[in-house]
Structure formats: C-alpha cells, structure tokens
Structure 1
Amino acid sequence: MIKGGLAAKQNFTDKDIVHFLTNVECLEGLFDTWGTFGTTFNNNLTLGGPTPIGARKANLSDEVQSHMEEIALNEQGHALFTRQAGSDLPCPPLDFTGGFNKFFGAAFNLTGSNTIASRFGKPFDPFQNDETFLLSVLSLEELGATGNKGLVSLLTNPVIANGVNGLATSATGQATVQRVLLWQRRNNTVPPFGETVQQVFARISALRDSLDGPQIDDQGLVNTDPRYIAVPQYYPNMIPTDVRGLTFSRTPQQLINILTLGSPQGVGVFFPSGLYGAINKPASYNESLPGLDSFPTSNAQVATQLTTQQVGNIPGPLLPPNVTGELDLTQSLTGPLDNGTAATRGFVTEPPGRPFFSNATQARTPASVHSNSLPSKQSPPHHVAVGLPVPSAAPTASGGRHLSEETAVG
C-alpha cells in the first residue's frame, strides 16, 4: 500500500508506462463504451481481450446519452493511443459487476461477507440509470485524469509524453462534464443505497483519498473545506484542485492501490487476474532501470518521430530549494484540516448561505468595483472578493467568516 503522499519516481521504461496505460484505458474505455453503445471497441483495439463481466448498455436519458457518446468515443481514442504508442498487450480480464459492487461497498465500509446485496437488499447496478452510471464513470474517470497527469513526468520520450499530457487534459475535461451532470442530479436518490448522488460521491471521494496516501488530493461535488481558494465553502466543486488551482496527480502505484482496494499483489476488484505488464503492483519496483529505454523504432505503430538515441537524455526540472511541497500546500493554509471522511467531501448538505473567504482567498481590486460609479484613479485599493460581497465579522461554525453586504477595507 502506498504510505507516502507523493510516491517517489520509479524509473520505469516508457514501454512499461504505455503498457500500464493499456490496463487503465481498457478499464475506462470499455466501461464507457459498453454502457453508452452496448458494444465493445472498434477495430479489435482490445487485441483479443475478453468481454468484461457484466458489460451491457446502460439505461440513460437522452441528455446523458448525448454527453456520454462523446466521452465514450474519446475513451476509445485513448485506447487507440496506447496501441499507436507501441502497446501490444491485450486488454486484461475486467469485472464491472463485482468490481463496482466491491468498490462502492468499500465506500460504505462494507468488508468480508458484508456486501451491498446483504446490506441494502440487492447489488449495485452501474448500468441501472443516469445516476448509477455517471457515479461509476466518474469514479474511474478522475483516476485516469490524475494518473495520466502523474505519468507525464515519468516519460522520457517527448512525443509520448505529449500524448499522455493530452490524455490527462481530455480526461479532466470529461470529468468536469460528468461532475456537472451529477451536480444537476445531486439530490436524486441512488439505488440501492437510499442516499443522494452528492452523499454517495462524497463517500467515493473519501475512499479514493484513503487509498493513495495521507495527502489530500480528492474532493466531492461540494466543497465543505474552506482551505481551497478556487471553491468557496459549500459551493459546487466542478474541477478538483489544490490551493494553487492545480489539478492533482497520482502515480501508477497509487492508482493500482485504489483500483484493487489495497491488494499487495494488485489483483482483484476490477482486475480479477491483475494488471498486465511490468507495472502491476502498488509497491516494490526496481528503481535501477535506466530512465530512457530503447523504444522499438521499427514498429510502424509507435507514435514517435525520433529514436531515443536522437532524443538523448532529457534532464528533469530543477526546483528551487525553497518551494513548498504539495503536502504543505494541501494542508491547512486556512480553516480546519480535512479529516479525510465523506463529511468533508460534501456528504452533509448545508444551506448555501454565503461563500467562505479568508485573507488567502481575496483579490486586490478597486473599491469602486462594488459601487455604481466608474473606478477612480485616486480610489485606494481594497481587499475584496471579486464579484462578491465583502466579508464581515460573522464567524462560522468552522471558525471562518461568512460574507455580508458591508464593505471591509483590507
């Protein structure tokens, strides 16, 4: 299991990383494609991989169907990228039925013989309706988005790194669409749990974050932690970021640990036979391999323009010695610490009220921005929240302050 928040870089070859991507993109892409179109990938992109257990068409509204068609085609394209980048591994055996029941069961703290079926009377069906399908899709989508972003710095071939960067940005955009669709349905009840979409996803977010280390890099549909400057307290959270507005990254080890619920061998849940390739466990990798591998240039499918010899060694970024670490930037700039539970991911619906702002979340703008007059060159700048009322001294239960209509000089 991953213990550290930022797992150390592992010197995998580029081909190892592309093979790892095959596992992840097959999981996401096949689930989205089956649920949206009721069929598998085109053109044998699975390379003979088996049909996933439980794969079928989801019962979707016209609105969700139209959005998911674009997303599913993008995901199928992600699988195509791994083939063009040289992956010759078939899609591994996948289990949608057992996988999502174990994953969502873990989000409800069900272990051993305690299952969703025994607790709620029937198993979870990811294809049942808009809510169950979108929750399932987003559970995987944000793992792909953060995982792809985390791979970019591990790759040495610039063409492949650029492609994986495209995977990360594409997956982040897809996840944003899915969050918006879920936000619109946040108060709908999710079968068989009897909880709302917002509550169930808060549990999923807390589960994912509990399996990738002590740092906070997962968020629910609603922000209830006032440390994040991009999203005021109790406001919708459509793009999870840290206090700098940066999207999160995960290592391959962290993803495997989440997808197999902490299996030391990386087997189970969605991957009943494990992951294919050299990167198939959440820990214990050989760190002595060279950073630049000899990627096969004779294979016409390889998406590269130069040989690795022509590219040469690419030095990593030189970081200033005083840069604050990600762990520091995602812990307690203001307000209380996220306690890692569903409660801080928006499980409890609070009255919308007014947004939370601290000194760290205010922008310096002319005072006249809140008046009907045009800005004056002589007007002294005030510290105010852009486009919003200015904070007063009314404390909140979390120790912060809600906004009032009063003007406050910074």
Structure 2
Amino acid sequence: MTPSTSTTTATVLASLILLLVPTSYSSSFITEKFRHSPIPQSDIDLLEFPLNLEYLEAEFFLYGSSGQGLDKFAPNLTMGGPTPLGARVANLDPFTRDVIKQFAWQEVGHLRAIKNTVQGFPRPLLDLSPKSFAKTMDAAFGRSLSPPFDPYASSLHFLIASYVIPYVGLTGYVGANPNLQANASKRLVAGLLAVESGQDAVIRALLYEHAMTKVDPYGMTVAEFTNRISVLRNRLGHAGIKDEGLVVPKWLGAEGRIGGNVLAGDEFSLGYARTPEEILRVVYGSGNESIPGGFYPKGADGRIAKSHLQSAA
C-alpha cells in the first residue's frame, strides 16, 4: 500500500468513526472546535446579547421548580453577578414542576453553550419578584389587578408568567440569524432556537388546553391573559404585530382559517423576528431601549445593550 493510499484509507476510517460516535460525544468536540474558530465582533455581540434572556429564563425556571438558582447549581456561570431579586419556589403540581425543571437545566446548558463560544458577561441584576410580574400584568390589562398577580401562586399562574419570557428570546434568535457570518455562530443560534421554540410550544400547548379556564381570582380566561400580554409586547416593541395570543381572529390565524393559535407565526406561519432593540423595549417594560426597568432594574449587559444605556446617559 502506498503512503497516499494509506493516508486516504485512514481519513475514510476516521470519518466513518465520527459518524458512528453518538451526538452526546461529538457535540462537545464540535463546540471545542468552534471555540477556536474566528468569530467576527458583530457575531460576538449578537451571541452575547441573548445571555441576558438566558440568565432570566434559567433563574426563573430554577427558582420556580426548586427554590434555588444558579448560585447553588452553577455559580461559575454567574461570573459574580448579583443574585436575582424576589425569586422563589412556585406552588406547582408534580407534572408542571417536572416540565419546568427540565426547562431550567436546558437553560443552564444554553448558558454553557454560549460561553463556550464567546466570553460573555456576568449575570445582570434581575427582578423576578411577584411585584415585577404584577406590574407587567397591570400594564397588559391597563389597570391594577386585585390581588396583584403572583407568578408563584399556582401552576397556572406560573405557566402564564412563563408565557412572558421564552417567546421573546426565540424571536431574538430568529432576528439574529440572518445577520450572523461565522458557521459556528449560525450553528449555535440554530441549536438555541430549536430548544427555545420547543419550550414556548410546550408552554403554549399547556395553556391552550385551559384557554377558556378562568384564572382565579380574576374571572378572566387564560386566553385573555395571553392575548393581553401579546398586545402589550407588540405595543412596547414599536414594530407592528410580532406576538399573538392563544386565540386570535381568524384573519390572524394560520392561513387565515382558524382562531386557535397554539403556535404564533406570521402570514406564512413562520416565526417572527425581533431586533435587540425591540427586545430591550419589551423586557424593560418601558418601550424604550435606553430606559431600563422591568426585569432588568439596572439594564441589560453586553455591547449592544450598553450602547443604548450610554447614549441615554
């Protein structure tokens, strides 16, 4: 066998071996490979920005399902950032707790995946207190709910509160995707988007099953809560309809034929896209990317978010 033939045979065998390696083994290899690939600064900014949402989701789901957060389960990922305000264990039934606990560990994985690719930044100050969620619900209904909405009070309350969070992040991934340049960046965002979309679908499906159930003690249905939240996010985003509740007018449903809306999508049932600026307007609750508040009392972190805070200073 000649040296060139030997080399070719070895290459083929190595390729076949890689094809047989389970994903659980190969994914770490791929992540390590991508970590050392050149990623342009514009990609780094777009990959770091979602950390703001991933921190929020990880903490909300961890605390809601177990009563403890990243400081307990993955303190290295916080990079010394402040402990969230007001987060606590939720009064969940066993099934919902199991689902939310799965979401929680998925979010921990997302934080690791992003930080395996870019440096990232410390956990920003997050306000996950009942008061923070109550302000969002009051804004959605245009009046103060009595008693104030408490996301930790029951499984249904927690799922409604969960409706507020992952969907915003996934629209950000849809928006970022066409602006990415490096293959490593595109692969990472595709993987993140897949699971974030799955989480949103599960939350919406669980809520859709109870769409006509009245939320105690408000006397308003789950569908009305979701519709109001979506209308609020559209209003804060200042970019038209990019959010839809669980039950919509037929013209807004899939192919303009159905009012049930277990998944939100545009006229072609494709995912809506949001820019970082639109996301900041929503999660700040201010409608302005330069005015922090809401879930981020001191603002989000990363070059994109900080550029807007600096411009307002």
Smaller-chain TM-score bracket? 0.7 to 0.9
Q: Cα distance 1:146–1:15, how it changes in 2: closer, same or farther (>3 A)? A: same
Task: Give the residue type in structure 2 aligned to 1:159.
Answer: A
Identity of counterpart residues, as a percentage?
A: 32
1:43 aligned residue: 74
Q: Cα distance 1:180–1:228, how it changes in 2: closer, same or farther (>3 A)? A: closer
Per the TM alignment, residue 154 of structure 1 is displaced from its structure 2 partner at its CA by 2.1
Task: Verify the 8 A CA contact 1:212 1:258 in the aligned structure 2.
Answer: yes
2:110 aligned residue: 78
Per the TM alignment, residue 227 of structure 1 is displaced from its structure 2 partner at its CA by 4.4
Q: Cα distance 1:179–1:231, how it changes in 2: closer, same or farther (>3 A)? A: farther
* 2:127 is aligned with 1:95: yes
Q: 1:133-178 CA deviation, whole Å, 9 max, x = no partner?
A: 1111121110011111111122222112211121112111111111
Task: Verify the 8 A CA contact 2:246 2:261 in the aligned structure 1.
Answer: yes
2:8 aligned residue: none
Gaps of 5+ in 1: 1-10, 111-115, 287-410
Task: Verify the 8 A CA contact 1:231 1:237 in the aligned structure 2.
Answer: no
Q: Cα distance 1:284–1:274, how it changes in 2: closer, same or farther (>3 A)? A: closer
Give the secondary structure class of the aligned counterpart of 1:211: helix
Task: Give the residue type in structure 1 aligned to 2:111.
Answer: A
Equivalent residue for 1:30, pick from 56, 59, 63: 59
Task: Verify the 8 A CA contact 1:223 1:231 in the aligned structure 2.
Answer: no
2:282 aligned residue: 258
Task: Verify the 8 A CA contact 1:266 1:281 in the aligned structure 2.
Answer: no
Describe how 1:161-240 pairs up with structure 2 within 5 A.
161-230=186-255, 232-234=257-259, 236-240=260-264
Cα distance in 2, alignment partners of residues 284 and 249 from structure 1: 23
Equivalent residue for 2:100, pick from 60, 68, 71: 68
Equivalent residue for 1:267, pick from 292, 303, 309: 292
Equivalent residue for 2:185, pick from 128, 135, 160: 160
Task: Verify the 8 A CA contact 2:50 2:169 in the aligned structure 1.
Answer: no
Per the TM alignment, residue 59 of structure 1 is displaced from its structure 2 partner at its CA by 0.8
Task: Verify the 8 A CA contact 2:90 2:158 in the aligned structure 1.
Answer: yes
Task: Verify the 8 A CA contact 2:253 2:261 in the aligned structure 1.
Answer: no
Q: 1:53-103 CA deviation, whole Å, 9 max, x = no partner?
A: 111111111221222222221122111122112234111000012431221
Give the secondary structure class of the aligned counterpart of 1:279: helix
Structure (1 or 2) with the larger CA radius of gyration: 1
RMSD (CA atoms) = 2.3
How many residues of Structure 1 are paired with residues of Structure 2 in the alignment?
267
Judge which range, 167-176 or 93-102, deviates more: 93-102
Task: Verify the 8 A CA contact 1:223 1:232 in the aligned structure 2.
Answer: no
